[in-house]
Amino acid sequence: MAKNRMYLYGKNSVMERLNADSPSIRRIFLQDNFKDPEIEKAISAASIQVSRTDEKGLLRIKPADRLQGIVAEIDKYIYTPFEKLLRLPEKERPVFIFLDSLNDPHNLGSIMRTAACLGGFAVVIPEHGSCEVNETVIHVASGGENYVPVSMVTNLSQALLKAKEAGYWAVGTVVEGGEDINRVSLPFPLCLILGSEGKGVRHGIQKHLDLKVTLPMKGAQLSLNVAMAAAIFCHEITRQRGF
């Protein structure tokens, strides 16, 4: 496979790509007994090259669980320039989700999926010290990558400062000691900063925060993973924004 290509697999992920961005699909591999009239109709309508193979052949193309009989060769993921998002008109400004030192592609994919479902979000990740948008990420995102712009920046702290200069507020999540997310009035436009599960938001970024928020935990004192926490924070952001 060429370096500028990726593999997308699973019925939902491929179907969503067919609906949202069929030109990015170069060809599709189907297992010889694959039958799904809706997907096959969409493939035909987009005039995409199709190759059929047996189960072993499909696994040689993309060794993964639950291929569901379909693999698409697609263009490599294209990041959205951060400056482009900052220049959007006020009514189109997204809430930025800054991810500090997030290394699990499953968490990144889940956050992108949540952001896509809620709408009006963009994700910002650093070039170093974080996972990129790879095949695992887009599989977990289940089509969310088509609707949530992701920016990769050289320096997360500098990107946050640029956002603040453009009028954004920086709200960071902390395990304890922050304002209760259910009781605080959030400022907009907003950057939500999430840290890694082990280390949280780094000190170099914390010093730029305008506000720290915490999830109240009245039940068992078990930690939520970053994707679960992001879903709760983003839901409250959406509620307050009235989006």
Place of tokens 């499953």: 106
CA gap 178, 197 in Å, rounded: 16
Q: What is the DSSP string of 113-151?
A: HHHHHH-SEEEEEESSSS--S-HHHHHHHTTGGGTS-EE
Question: Which pair of structure tokens corresponds to residue 50?
Answer: 């199709």
Q: Which residues contact 3 (CB under 8 A, 6 or more apart)?
A: 76
pLDDT confidence of residue 164: 98
Q: What is the number of other CB atoms lying within 10 angstroms of the CB of residue 73?
A: 21
Q: What is the DSSP string of 19-49?
A: HHHGGGEEEEEEETT---HHHHHHHHHTT-E
pLDDT confidence of residue 142: 95
Q: What is the DSSP string of 192-236?
A: EEE-BTTTBS-HHHHTT-SEEEE----S---PPPHHHHHHHHHHH
Whether the full predicted model's pTM is greater than 0.85, yes or no, is yes
pLDDT in tens, 50-79: 999 999 999 999 999 999 999 999 999 999
Q: Which residue, among 59, 25, 67, has the nearest Cα to 42 in the 3D structure?
A: 25
SS3 173: strand
pLDDT confidence of residue 200: 81
Question: Which pair of structure tokens corresponds to residue 224?
Answer: 């939520």
Q: Identify the segments of the chain with pLDDT beneath 50.
A: none
pLDDT confidence of residue 131: 93
**Cis omega (within 30 of 0) for bond into 89:** no
| Full set of structural domains in the chain with CATH | 5-75 (3.30.1330.30), 82-241 (3.40.1280.10)
pLDDT confidence of residue 219: 59
pLDDT confidence of residue 110: 97
pLDDT confidence of residue 242: 84
Q: How long, in residues, is the chain?
A: 243
